[in-house]
């Protein structure tokens, strides 16, 4: 928000007053308060917009309180805990003429923008499939509440894969089938793996999440008839691999050279940013679109309430359809 320059960050609120004070001082926000809704904020009359970064269980309460108070809202994913909650909030925002947007940031990362340019330029060719893969190491830093969610970590992190695949496929995602493999680690809700098959028009879209992996990796790939475009979301790298034709030795050498070159060339800029802590993963574009939507009344494309609902519907379908075939 400070990098954008169009926001005046007024107050940081948290249900625990001591944490609100600590974090406000750490990031230089002038005011802090213990609060669980906008109605409780002493400075609410000076507030024009609210960002919600609470645990998912309280998204609905925070967003509704902000909308009822006449504030624009940008919320973290996942949108809400149920589809009914999400639809209610979208209707309320429209009724009041307020912006309701969601942090679907990776679709605006430099790597994804590069892949979308390859698509627009015809470098990838006609799209034949979209793959999205998440490997998650259970030893990595995770919120304490993740296994209390429906399907645990899946519910918190799957929006990233869903909205990025949706953006690259260029059409609305429709369900086909889903399979949920139970935890092998004794977790109550978080499964070992989830496999979801969808389609965007005639294009098959696969989303796979393994939540018991030895490494943490997030990758999305677009398979075209002229080449393969992949993005490494964590490292913010886009890699192009050309069609390997007859798969002869020279073709393998060519694809290997292309993949290796794009990887290391792509890592120079984001690698330095990662070390400096300035790699934003597309969040700067999220806040730009949120700001512009408030200023102009235009739809914040890619992150508005309809986009939030589209992703939420896929999440809720996977929750209900795991292990069954829907055609």
Q: Is residue 85 part of a domain?
A: yes
Q: Is residue 327 part of a domain?
A: no
Same domain assignment for residues 231 and 271: yes
Q: Is residue 292 part of a domain?
A: yes
Same domain assignment for residues 192 and 74: no
Q: Is residue 310 part of a domain?
A: no
Q: In which domain, by residue range, is 219 found?
A: 107-280+317-321
pLDDT score, position 327:
47
Q: Is residue 4 part of a domain?
A: no
3-state secondary structure of 295: helix
Q: What is the CATH number of the domain that holds 42?
A: 3.40.50.720
Q: Is residue 1 part of a domain?
A: no
pLDDT score, position 276:
64
Q: Is residue 2 part of a domain?
A: no
Helices and strands of the chain, counted as H and E runs? 8, 12
3-state secondary structure of 205: strand
- For residues 73 and 50, the answer to whether their CB atoms sit within 8 Å is yes
Task: List, edge to edge, every strand of the sheet that includes 237-242.
Answer: 174-181, 193-200, 203-210, 127-135, 217-224, 227-232, 237-242
pLDDT score, position 64:
98
Same domain assignment for residues 230 and 140: yes
316 phi-psi bin (left φ>0, alpha ψ -120 to 50, beta other): alpha
State the Cα–Cα distance between residues 70 and 294, nearest whole angstrom.
12
Q: What is the CATH number of the domain that holds 188?
A: 3.30.360.10
Same domain assignment for residues 67 and 140: no
Q: Structure tokens of 104? A: 């679907």
State the Cα–Cα distance between residues 171 and 145, nearest whole angstrom.
33
Is this model's pTM higher than 0.85 or not?
yes
Same domain assignment for residues 289 and 153: no
Q: Is residue 63 part of a domain?
A: yes
DSSP H or E run through 143: none
Q: How many domains does the chain have?
A: 2
Q: Structure tokens of 218? A: 């997030």
Which residues fall within 8 angstroms of residue 53, CB to CB, at 6 or more apart? 76
Same domain assignment for residues 296 and 257: no
Same domain assignment for residues 26 and 158: no
Nearest by Cα to 242 from 256, 231, 228: 228
Angle at 248 between CA 244 and CA 253, to 5 degrees: 70
- How do the pLDDT tens digits run along the chain, 327 residues long? 988 999 999 999 999 999 999 999 999 999 999 999 999 999 999 999 999 999 999 999 999 999 999 999 999 999 999 999 999 999 999 999 999 999 999 999 999 999 999 999 999 999 999 999 999 999 999 999 999 999 999 999 999 999 999 999 999 999 999 999 999 999 999 999 999 999 999 999 999 999 999 999 999 999 999 999 999 999 999 999 999 888 888 878 888 887 787 777 777 766 666 666 778 899 999 999 999 999 999 999 999 999 999 999 999 999 998 755 554
Same domain assignment for residues 88 and 200: no
Same domain assignment for residues 98 and 166: no
Nearest by Cα to 13 from 47, 4, 88: 47
pLDDT score, position 247:
83
Same domain assignment for residues 116 and 89: no
Same domain assignment for residues 184 and 80: no
State the Cα–Cα distance between residues 316 and 321, nearest whole angstrom.
8
Same domain assignment for residues 111 and 77: no
């Amino acid at each position: 928000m400070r990098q954008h320059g169009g926001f005046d960050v007024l107050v940081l609120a948290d249900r625990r007053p001591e944490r609100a004070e600590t974090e406000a001082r750490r990031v230089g926000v002038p005011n802090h308060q213990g609060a669980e809704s906008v109605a409780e904020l002493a400075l609410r009359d000076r507030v024009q917009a609210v960002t919600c970064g609470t645990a998912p269980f309280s998204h609905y309460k925070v967003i509704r309180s902000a909308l009822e108070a006449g504030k624009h809202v940008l919320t973290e994913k996942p949108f809400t805990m149920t589809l009914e909650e999400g639809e209610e909030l979208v209707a309320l925002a429209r009724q009041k003429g307020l912006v309701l947007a969601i942090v679907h940031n990776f679709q605006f990362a430099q790597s994804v923008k590069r892949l979308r340019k390859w698509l627009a330029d015809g470098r990838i060719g006609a799209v034949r499939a979209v793959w999205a893969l998440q490997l998650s190491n259970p030893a990595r830093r995770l919120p304490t509440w993740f296994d209390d969610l429906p399907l645990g970590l899946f519910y918190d992190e799957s929006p990233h894969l869903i909205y990025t695949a949706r953006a690259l496929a260029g059409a609305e995602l429709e369900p086909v089938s889903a399979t949920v493999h139970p935890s092998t680690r004794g977790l109550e809700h978080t499964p070992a793996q989830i496999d979801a098959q969808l389609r965007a028009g005639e294009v098959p879209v696969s989303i796979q999440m393994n939540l018991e992996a030895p490494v943490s990796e997030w990758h999305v790939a677009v398979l075209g008839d002229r080449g393969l475009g992949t993005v490494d979301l964590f490292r913010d790298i886009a890699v192009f691999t050309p069609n390997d034709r007859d798969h002869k030795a020279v073709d393998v050498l060519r694809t290997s050279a292309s993949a290796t070159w794009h990887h290391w060339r792509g890592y120079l800029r984001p690698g330095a940013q990662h070390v400096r802590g300035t790699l934003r993963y597309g969040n700067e574009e999220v806040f730009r679109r949120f700001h512009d939507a408030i200023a102009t009344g235009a739809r914040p494309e890619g992150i508005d309430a309809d986009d939030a609902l589209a992703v939420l519907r896929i999440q809720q379908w996977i929750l209900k359809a795991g292990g069954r075939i829907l055609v």
